[in-house]
Chains A and B, each alone.
Chain A
């Protein structure tokens, strides 16, 4: 059937997954459900130790077997060693049909590909995948389905019991012998452990893996001992130099600076720019440049931000140091400055659930005024794609994109009009991750388009100078005039992945890639 985002979701996929097709961003608003609770093995005696010597032993103690679901978090980003370490052991034990439920997977996890090919891993649930795993999935090598979920959507799936995690593995920069974990200290400092909070609350077995065992109690704990079954000490859980891959250096790309300039002009002229406004931005060059130029205007006009939230970078932490933001609410640190800043009193850790889960009694994203996002593609209906490359290969992650877009009053997407020959503004995105109804403004180096659904913003911008406003169709036409209209990528019939909406309905499907052949 055709869903609310205009995408054709095959009936057999709806049947196979038991999911509904996407029906609008507030479809599940004010519905009720009972939270799923984990199997909890009680520990009452005062003699048992939670320490286990090896990953192998901990897997045996947790009763690892075929068909189980194991979960991981991605705070170590491209420096993560935990996923591969655990999966290699599972592989060695000859276990099959594993479902991986990760908050995200990256190029660091390329070594999983042979395990996908030999049936050790048959299902993947993740924010997204990059590198060779994405290629393997797009070439149909995963036996089951890849499910791409937003950060908020993942929390929802664990809370509702849609996904039941048998064993959660939490890489902890510091941990004591009873399982109190902290995101700071040790050798692999990542600042926060926000994504794994939900795993610790809802997985049947919880294993903390650390390379820095500290005296009891490791407090204040970011993951509490009351939720941890076992603690395993290993040599290294992360490569510190690769944890902060998004090291923020101000961009010198004039194209990005120009887009940042348009973005700042838009933000400061929109009705939400007043004392106490709230703001989230990502780690892209233009996003970072926007935060820097916004800082100047805030200083000039004496306007302060109420809170900044999400994955954090240096320019956001600088706002805190300058007293320009009341507090920061942190789910992930993209650079070492952010890791350092989280030790600040007004820089708080929050769980991924508090940040973005659509199925709680109100998440932080609902209180956002502005969010500045990027996208691989945006179509003339303002639908965004952040997961599948224009060549049809899975190469990105939803992250908090659909969560923040749905929550924020003003969702701004920045993208250069062209990426090489690929037009970022097109007639139809390859796959929809964020529906156009939640995207308000698209900023490119050639022009800025406001979603016609937002007549209030169009009205507010009518006398603003220095922003080249146009329609989204005009942006697409400008792009096509330069590079030519792209042909649609040809896919095979088999569905290899689904793009899940944050509320658990199906936003879109990803099909197997078909080798290119010339037209006759």
Chain B
């Protein structure tokens, strides 16, 4: 998928994450701030990258402000932000595009 316009999903509540995607010319520009960065920074990056990959997003600037979200929450927020950037409101893959 393409990132057509800036879009966000999630909140800044604890155990959630705020994910923002913006168009980017080339590649994935990943930015993370997290309350658990020392323990889960690499894990969060991996989950976000995998999710983008499975959505076939190749170019995006993605900013994650994480408040200790679990992997399932992170995946859902990334998916939602990407669909919102496409204005896709129908045929959403409920349950997640990712196993």
Contact = CB atoms under 8 A, between A and B. Distances in A.
Contacts of A392: 38
A390 B39 contact: yes
A390 B37 CA distance: 11
Contact of B67 (A420, A490, A518, A519): A420
Interface stretch (A142-150, A231-239, A479-487): A479-487
A420 B68 contact: yes
Interface in B1-48: 14-15, 35-43, 45
A421 B38 contact: no
A18 B36 CA distance: 36
Contact of A487 (B35, B38, B68, B69): B38
Size band of the B side of the interface? 10 to 19
B35 A484 contact: no
Name, among A390, A420, A482, the residue most crowded by chain B CB atoms within 10 Å (CB to CB). A420
Contacts of A483: 70
Contacts of A390: 36, 38-39
Interface in A372-391: 390-391
A518 B42 contact: yes
A93 interface: no
Contacts of A490: 38
Nearest to B66: A421
Given A487-B38, A487-B39, A421 B69 contact: yes
A420 B35 contact: yes
Contacts of B37: 391, 516
A489 B67 contact: no
Interface string B53-93: 00000000000000111110000000000000000000000
Contacts, number: 50
B36 A422 contact: yes
Contacts of B15: 420-421
Contact of A421 (B40, B42, B45): B40
Nearest to A516: B37
B56 to A, nearest CB: 23
Interface string A293-319: 000000000000000000000000000
A423 to B, nearest CB: 9
Contacts of A422: 36, 39, 68
A518 B40 CA distance: 10
Contacts of B39: 390-391, 421-422, 486-487, 489
A422 B15 CA distance: 10
Nearest to A420: B68
A392 B36 CA distance: 11
9 closest A-B pairs by beta carbon, nearest first, are A486-B39, A420-B68, A421-B68, A489-B38, A516-B37, A519-B42, A391-B38, A421-B36, A487-B39
Interface of A: 390-392, 420-422, 482-484, 486-487, 489-490, 516, 518-519
22 contacts: A390-B36, A390-B39, A391-B35, A391-B36, A391-B37, A420-B15, A420-B35, A421-B36, A421-B40, A422-B39, A483-B70, A484-B40, A486-B40, A487-B43, A489-B38, A489-B39, A516-B37, A516-B38, A518-B41, A518-B42, A518-B45, A519-B42
